[in-house]
Amino acid sequence: MDRLIICPTSKGMWWDDLSIDVLREPRRAVERDGQWYLWLNLYSRIVLRKEEEVHRGGYGTLTRCVREEQMWDPSTGVWQIGSEKKVYLKQSFKQVSFKEEALLQKLAQMELAAVGCGKVVPPVLDIFIEPAGLVVFTMECYDDYTILSNAIKNGSASEGVLADIIFQIAFFLHVLTDRVGLNHRDIKTSNILFRRDEKDLLLSYGGFLYKGRSKAEAALVDFGFSCVGRALGEPAFVRAGIYYGPKDPCPKTGRDLYLFLSLLLRDLYLYGGGEEKLVGWLEKRLWLADIDIVGFIKKYLQKEPDWLYFLAGDSSLVFPHCEPTIILQSMLKDGLVDGTHV
């Protein structure tokens, strides 16, 4: 069984060793007849059958697969299928290992599940070495969700849906930052999934309790740039990816939401879909002393938004006005979401 080692500190329970036992001597899948086989022991194995690539990012791909759990039946000498389900397989096309990313995604999912938000991050299922020699992983398949960037481009993301998604992402980040000092560091519209599901919503953590109605259910993916820190403002303790420098503080006040809101506003300028009230709120929240961020977003609209990442990673800048609880309170005060803070 996977074992995650943690130790107590003054701030709670920290993941002092993010290694999983199986990764100290990683199991290696073998390929045969176009399928991957991962042996768990002499009598059980996982078989992965690739179907189609569903997403290609900057470093890796998501491929939909059929995952079979098989058990050896010695009485018949045949492998029996115990269960079968669709999963996503994440693998690299740039010779990047996804060990740290898989562990950080697993951590995020477990911490959010502990406060009743277990569907927010797709659960990690298998972490192993692919036949090509890199660490890859599988996760639950969210085929009934839509990528937010696609919805904005085709005009199917209404303002009510966008506001609900922002509100939920802010709450999730509040939980992850407070519980384990996790920063995602790459929250953009292509890393957020959602499905339309109008229902009562209850979000409760610490001293924050929200009751209301929601038009959409949000999910967060791609922890390839994520980090976990020991204390506010210190360098990351565990991090994935190479985009941010090794001394980048983690967690950093307001960084994740500042980056997300900036990239969201850029998408709304590019593709439309944001009504005046939401766009105005975003422009107001992105105020930064001596830097006209909104003006720069408009000026460099047709260029890649890498400069926003460098801004978010600037060690001299913090973003207290985009700290998650501040954003939650602002959205409630300005009537962007339907509900009350109890």
CATH placement of domain 146-341: 1.10.510
Q: What is the DSSP letter of 5?
A: E
- Which ranges in the chain are annotated with CATH 3.30.200? 5-140
Rounded Cα distance between 26 and 126, Å, is: 11
Residue 6: is its pLDDT beyond 70?
no
pTM over 0.95, yes/no: no
Location of structure tokens 């990683």: 26
Task: Encode pLDDT of 287-309 as tens digits.
Answer: 877 788 999 999 999 899 999 99
Helices (H) then strands (E): counts for the chain: 9, 16
Higher local confidence (pLDDT), 33 or 139: 139
Rounded Cα distance between 307 and 310, Å, is: 5
- Which ranges in the chain are annotated with CATH 1.10.510? 146-341
Contacts of 72 (CB under 8 A, 6+ apart): 42, 43, 44, 45, 78, 79, 80
Higher local confidence (pLDDT), 46 or 10: 46
**Residue 246 confidence (pLDDT):** 80
CATH placement of domain 5-140: 3.30.200
Query: Cβ-count burial of 52 within 10 angstroms (0-12 exposed, 13-18 middle, 19+ buried)?
Result: exposed
